[in-house]
Amino acid sequence: MTGDASLFVILSKRNKEGYVSFGNNLRGYIIGIGDIGKAPYPVIKDVYLVIELKHNLLSISHLVDHGYGINFVKDKCTIIDSSTGSTIFEGIREDNIYAFYLLEDANTAGRCLMAKSVESQLWHMRLGHANMDTISRLSTKKLVRDLPDISFKKDTVCSECEKNKATKSAFKSKNTVSTTRPLQLLHMDLFGPSRIASLGGKLYAFVIIDDFSRYTWVYFLARKNDALSEFVTFYKKVQNENGFMITRIRSDHDDEFENAEFKQFYDTHGYLHEFSCPRITPQQNRVVERKNRTLSEMARVMLNQFSLPRYLWAEAVNTACYILNRVLIRPISKKTPYELWFDRTPNISYFKIFGCKCFILNTNDNLSKFDEKPMKVYF
């Protein structure tokens, strides 16, 4: 089916009523049926002309019914004439779409899309495999900019989420907010060491959360005792961002937080340091413990969905933190952490899937006239 009438070599008006449902809950009505095809390609018969259809869609079952065979592999798709065994044309895989560039002339470049990703699943992946219910609320309540108004079904099954987010039931979260402004209370924790060092040689992730907004910062450390120097840099930055002052800090009893250097820093600046009970009660530091698990799960999914190397774990955790600050919703205020911290709604129109293939223009190497200009990289 297509929305471009100029592609047809034969076109007849369709008398029967019929329509195609789009992802935004709108309908495209079928107004004609005909044949498409130009030499050297075969003619595709019984193609629907659909109003407002933005892409040319090719049905696998339709091709099979008309005597063609289909062969899918990881990076391409081949359509074969079943009677002769000859290859009719090949398409290339672009992320989760198999694309065929057919019917090209000076004016048109028809694109046939096969196995097209559902838009809601695409945004689920762009947003780091965030919960579908959360994405649905972001869309319906307009809590972020440029998220399409599409249906995000709560019961949608994502195989990567099923494989990488399995866990036991968690303690119930508190439904009240105990702070009234940003930086009134900070939660801190460290997770690691990672078995594999990151690209920058880091082994630990230092997580800091503002209790009021739930805005989160992640710093990566080579050693545990680097936490204080990172915190000094952090406190100067955040207090200048919004003018508020840090009042209280909550952490566990690990050595990186309970030491003479940290105590001297707190006493100098007048911060109150609260500790959870030792060892047996991580629930008392539950805000940051939950966030550690969420960051780890999101990073695990993003790495595994494209089989990326484990040394990219810090990049995955950093991306997960960036996404969560823009998509989580505080139950009381009904706003995202980003909006509560910066007092404006976040824009997510530029989000891409972590690990997807992309191309950048190579301007550094001394290329010959016929060398490829773009370099293939991964986002």
| C-alpha to C-alpha distance for 10 and 38, rounded to whole angstroms | 12
Note the pLDDT of residue 146: 83
Q: With residue 274 as reference, give the H or E element that holds it.
A: strand 272-275
H-only helix segments in the chain? 60-65, 119-126, 132-140, 159-164, 227-242, 260-269, 286-304, 313-327, 337-342
Cβ–Cβ < 8 Å for 314, 198: yes
Q: With residue 80 as reference, give the H or E element that holds it.
A: strand 76-81
pLDDT digit string (tens) for the chain, length 379 residues: 888 877 778 888 776 667 777 766 677 788 888 888 765 567 788 888 888 787 788 888 888 887 888 888 877 888 888 877 777 777 787 767 777 765 444 333 333 333 334 567 778 888 888 888 888 888 888 889 888 776 666 556 676 777 777 665 555 555 667 899 999 999 999 999 999 999 999 999 999 999 999 999 999 999 999 999 999 999 999 988 888 999 999 998 888 899 999 999 999 999 999 988 765 555 667 889 899 999 999 999 999 988 889 999 999 999 999 999 999 998 888 999 999 999 999 999 999 889 887 888 887 767 777 777 787 777 7
Q: What are the phi and psi torsion angles at 188 (to 5°)?
A: -135, 145
Cβ–Cβ < 8 Å for 99, 79: no
3-state secondary structure of 191: strand
What contacts 232, CB < 8 A, 6 or more positions away? 265
What contacts 308, CB < 8 A, 6 or more positions away? 302, 316, 355, 378
Domains located in the chain, CATH noted: 5-116 (no CATH), 167-333 (3.30.420.10)
Q: Is the dihedral of CA 233, 235, 239, 242 positive or negative?
A: positive
3-state secondary structure of 300: helix
